[in-house]
Amino acid sequence: QKEVEQNSGPLSVPEGAIASLNCTYSDRGSQSFFWYRQYSGKSPELIMSIYSNGDKEDGRFTAQLNKASQYVSLLIRDSQPSDSATYLCAVISSNDYKLSFGAGTTVTVRA
């Protein structure tokens, strides 16, 4: 089982819609979770971090964490074409504190 799993997509949504991205992780002791955005040919950019169960909102982004289900998600509201990118879920291991990445979900926002 991979440490961090994401649907690879591609996820295509119309402009203005909500994009929903999901991520599951295997390390039950993990406490820190991040979402990165990576444009093609560029390096990842941190967009959200979440440490506690529940929702965390930042602008058009909402991260949701459920540690019991080992599940973290990202919602992008009012999707814009500029949101088209690959979104990487990342989890810090409770064992060695290294950051592990999922394979990423590619999102395409149609104008």
- 29 contributes a contact to another protein by CB under 8 A: no
Nearest distance from C-beta of residue 74 to another protein, angstroms: 14
> Are the CB atoms for 107 and 76 separated by under 8 Å?
yes
Burial level of 95, CB count in 10 A (0-12/13-18/19+)? exposed
Could you tell me the sign of the dihedral formed by the alpha carbons of 51, 65, 40, 99, in that order? positive
Rule CB under 8 A: is residue 13 a binding residue for another protein?
A: no
Instruction: Please say which residue, 41 or 54, places its beta carbon nearer to another protein.
Output: 41
Query: Nearest CA to 109 among 84, 86, 87?
Result: 84
Nearest Cα to 27, choosing from 74, 73, 95, 90? Answer: 95
Between 17 and 56, whose beta carbon lies closer to another protein?
Answer: 56
Name which of residues 36 to 95 contact another protein (CB under 8 A). Answer: 36, 41-46, 49, 51, 88, 90, 92
Q: By CB under 8 A, name the one of 19, 23, 24, 104 that touches another protein.
A: 104
Contacting positions for another protein (CB under 8 A): 31-32, 34, 36, 41-46, 49, 51, 88, 90, 92, 97-104
